[in-house]
Amino acid sequence: MRKWSRHRRALALFASVLLLSWNFCVASKPSSANPVPPLLLGAAWYPEQWPERRWNRDLALMEAANIRVARIGEFAWSRLEPAEGQYHLDWMERAIRDAERHHILIVIGTPTDAPPAWLTQKYPETLRVDAQGIRAQHGGRRQFSYSNPKYRELSRRIVRQLALRFGHDPDVIGWQIGNEYTDESFDAETQRMFQQWLQQRYKTLDALNANWTTAYWSQMYTNWNQIPLSAGPENPGLMLEHRHFVSDTWRSFQRNQIDAIRQYADPQQFITTNLGGLGWSANFDHYKISEDLDLASWDDYVGEGHLHPYRNGAMHDFVRGWKRKNFWVMEMQPGSVNWAPVNNSLDKGETRAMAWEAIGHGADAVLYWQWRDALNGQEEYHGAIVGPDGGPLPIYSEIQQIGREFALAAPVLQGTRPVSQVAILYTYDSRWAIDFQRHTRDYDQLQVLLDYYRPLRDLTQSVDIISADAPLDQYKLVVAPSLNVISQDLANHLRNYVRHGGHLVLGPRSGMKNGYDALNIERQPGPLAADLGGRVSQYYALENSVPVRGIWGQGRASIWAEPLSIHAKDVRVLLSYEKSNGWLDGHPAMVVQNFGKGKIAYLGTILDASLMHDAVQWMVAGAHVRPAFGAVPANVEVCRRERGNTQVFIFINHGELPVTIPLPSPMRNWLVAGPPVEALYLDPEGVAVVSEQASVTH
């Protein structure tokens, strides 16, 4: 018996040494033989949907297309944990090793967007409740409650297991938390959490009642548990705080998984999440969500119709602004989708142009959704690169061309990023405040932003879209359309920018609200009215366009009009309303005032395209902003990325006719072999990547 005890102790000691040695080997595993290219082409791959004997054929086709990264796992919870506490990760290990042999790196998606049936059956309280009080059922995705403690506990467990297994795998380069955060929950527990969140924020009900003006409609609260949780319409202060709560709750949901990964993973593995909604969703604050991430990523879809270069380019610039650095496109449509009213395919060459536009605006990776047609499920009809038989679809050759070009251009693009002298300011508070009370159905905030973006992009060829509280020192010109909420702190930030030489242009509806979505008592532009030397006297939703005239001639204004009153003698009127409804007649529509070393201007209406171009040309010239490249033919998009003294230009012909672009000096086109050229010839959907000098960082 004593002999057996000694034997058991010896075995236990041996096992402990073996375990320590294994952990050491995992932690100190050498770098992968597959280095991370500076420019990556990839796809979403679902090995769990297919027999393992087919995996290598998929991966061989990926390798032949120069696909160097695959995202896996984000919908695989039922395969990874088929029953509670039973973790089956070996198949994922085999998939990663197969990918390694084909020089393909891996991003693991945590599987928390689609809980398995055993989970929702055993713990029905984890299911989300919608605004009408209806609890979600199993069979789709995103049916979970983002605030439920049990769901978070189970999520953290599976993520911990993945991090323990793959956190030091050199071929796993990153992690994606969940997938496209979308819907909040309105269950009773979430309402209690919201009430507690408000109590921590306001401390006293007197403070809450005062800031929300709850004396209106007898809304005054005498107990925290009286405060409702609804999708609205509600008190604007309550609605704004609910959006803040939603943002904080998604962030803590995300942080729960980030902490589990960071505890066990190599710091070199990045963490991101793919934010969907065509880039323009407003369920939560993307800036806040991105704070805890290593890089921002989004899902770039056209849907019905064809690529809109300005809109899509603006969304890339918007995403780049979430962390003010380069980003990834974690999903891009390979031709078509399945969820639009008409699921047409992009034209031949359009998918390539779309990919290169992403790179031009600061993406370092483009991944397609999805690699292979699923045999069943809600997205059977969605575009893919490979058919259900495993053979290439027609789009494969275009993806292959993109992959080949990414490999050719990667050396010169390594370490580069877009650099702009012009910024458009944006805040979610302003977005939400206007959406709560649009006052006219025609006031489309994205369209208003694009009204500024198009001429700014044409004239400067490089625009940042950033949070209004971001550092502004690098910008000669800052434009803030629809900056509805301006608090005292934000006003001080903008004032300081102008005082030190910046040029600030405020668009319509700016400064109407304070940080609690209450009216600023100074009227528009709120705390900046004194600096402007004028203010908005009233606002009008327009049924029809009205005439305006100013230093750029005459034109039309539509949708929204704000006449300004002047309170300082040196304020200059740039544009005035002509005879229309009587209230607007003769009043200023745009004014400018010198302030410190800079200028502050206010434009209180939405101008027709021609007059808007002239107004933006005045803004750009006054701020001494020069274009990134220079004159190019119509329908040609030019993007600049910089690294030190090296400038790389990406040209894309979005037009229907071929064009010739003269170059200021001989430049190398990195997409083709040959000597430097003095001009570029681009067919429709044609792309060129040229650099001023041939220096390459390896």
Cβ neighbourhood burial of 554 (10 Å; 0-12, 13-18, 19+): exposed
Mean of pLDDT values over 492-510: 98
pLDDT at 235: 96
Query: Could you tell me if 621 and 322 are in contact, meaning their C-beta atoms sit under 8 angstroms apart?
Result: no
| Beta bridge partner(s), residue 300 | 332
- Of 337-346, 348-357, 452-461, which gets the smallest average pLDDT? 337-346
Q: Is the dihedral of CA 451, 454, 458, 463 positive or negative?
A: positive
Q: Kindly state the DSSP code that residue 418 receives in the 8-state scheme.
A: -
| 5 within some domain | no
Are residues 648 and 534 part of one domain?
no
Q: What is the mean pLDDT of residues 123-138?
A: 94
Tell me, yes or no, whether 26 lies in a domain.
Answer: no
pLDDT at 610: 97
In a domain, 39, yes or no: no
Cis peptide before 633 (omega within 30 of 0): no
The answer to whether position 470 is within a domain reads: yes
Whether 130 shows a pLDDT value over 80: the answer reads yes
Q: Is the confidence at residue 16, as pLDDT, over 70?
A: no
Q: Is residue 696 part of a domain?
A: no
Do residues 650 and 360 touch, judged by C-beta distance below 8 A? Answer: yes
Q: pLDDT tens, 314-335?
A: 999 999 999 999 999 999 999 8
Share of the chain above pLDDT 70, in %: 94
Task: Name the average pLDDT for the chain.
Answer: 92
Q: Which of 302, 399, 400, 401 is nearest to 344 (CA)?
A: 302
Is pLDDT larger for residue 40 or for residue 232? 40
Find all residues with CB under 8 Å of 110, minimum gap 6, and list them.
Answer: 73, 74, 155, 158, 159, 162, 175, 176, 177, 178, 257, 261
Q: Is residue 369 located within the same domain as residue 448? A: no
Contact 105, 69 (CB under 8 A): yes
CA dihedral sign of residues 327, 333, 338, 340: positive
Query: Are residue 548 and residue 677 in the same domain, yes or no?
Result: no
* Single residue among 355, 385, 413 that ends a domain in this structure: 413
**259: pLDDT strictly greater than 50:** yes
For residue 515, pLDDT beyond 60: yes
Q: Are residues 107 and 78 in the same domain?
A: yes
Compute the distance between CA of residue 392 and CA of residue 58 in angstroms, rounded to an integer: 10
Residues 390 and 436 in one domain: no
467: tokens are 């949070």
141, part of any domain: yes
Q: Is 22 a residue whose pLDDT tops 60? A: no
Length of the chain: 698
Please check whether residues 285 and 319 belong to one and the same domain: yes
Q: Does residue 342 have a pLDDT over 90?
A: no
Percent of the chain whose predicted confidence (pLDDT) is above 90: 86
- DSSP structure class, residue 68: -
Answer with the one of 594, 622, 650 that is the final residue of a domain.
622
Least confident segment among 128-142, 206-220, 457-471: 128-142
Task: Please check the confidence at residue 10 and state whether its pLDDT lies above 70.
Answer: no
Structure tokens at 645: 């003294």
CA distance 1 to 14: 20
What CATH number is attached to the domain comprising 298? 3.20.20.80
pLDDT of res. 277: 65
Query: What pLDDT is attached to residue 193?
Result: 98
81 alpha-carbon distance from chain centroid: 31
Residues 484 and 598 in one domain: yes
> Quick one: 489 exposed, middle or buried, by C-beta within 10 A (0-12, 13-18, 19+)?
exposed
Q: Does residue 694 surpass a pLDDT of 60?
A: no
How many Å apart are CA 49 and CA 377, to the nearest integer?
11
Q: Taking a C-beta distance cutoff of 8 angstroms, is the pair 596, 499 a contact? A: yes
Model's pTM, two decimal places?
Answer: 0.93
492-511: average pLDDT: 98
Number of domains observed in the structure of the chain: 3
Question: Residue 139 pLDDT more than 90?
Answer: no
Cα angle 483, 488, 491; round to 5: 50
pLDDT for 33 equals 52
Q: What per-residue confidence (pLDDT) applies to 8?
A: 46
Q: Tell whether 407 and 431 lie within a shared domain.
A: no
Q: Which pLDDT value is given to residue 252?
A: 97
Domain's final residue, options 587, 622, 657: 622
Is residue 22 situated within a structural domain?
no
Secondary structure of residue 459 in the 3-state scheme: helix
Distance (Å, rounded) from C-alpha 566 to C-alpha 580?
A: 21
- Identify whether residues 678 and 596 lie together within a single domain: no
**pLDDT (tens digit, 9 = 90+) per residue, 262-310?**
999 999 999 999 997 667 889 999 999 999 999 999 999 998 889 999 9
Give the per-residue pLDDT at 375: 73
Q: Supply 663's token pair.
A: 């170059």
Query: CB–CB of 469/499 below 8 Å?
Result: no
Q: Quick check: is 201 in a domain?
A: no
CATH number at residue 501: 3.40.50.880
Tokens 């002999």: give the residue: 3
Predicted confidence at residue 272, as pLDDT, reads 98
Structural domain range at position 492: 422-622
CATH code: domain of residue 665? 2.60.40.1180
Report pLDDT for 4: 40
Tens digit of each residue's pLDDT (9 = 90 or more) over 375-402: 787 787 788 899 999 999 999 999 999 9
The single-letter DSSP state of residue 12 is H
Q: Is the peptide bond before 508 cis (omega within 30 degrees of 0)?
A: no
Average pLDDT over residues 128-139: 92
429, 346: one domain: no
Tell me what the mean pLDDT of segment 62-88 comes to.
Answer: 97
Q: What is the reported pLDDT for 223?
A: 98
pLDDT digits (tens, 9 = 90+) for 594-645: 999 999 999 999 999 999 999 999 999 999 999 999 999 999 999 999 999 9
The reply to whether 483 and 596 lie within a common domain is yes
What's residue 232's pLDDT?
82
Residues 409 and 432 in one domain: no
Lowest-confidence pick of 27-36, 187-196, 203-212, 312-321: 27-36
> Would you say residue 92 has pLDDT above 80?
yes
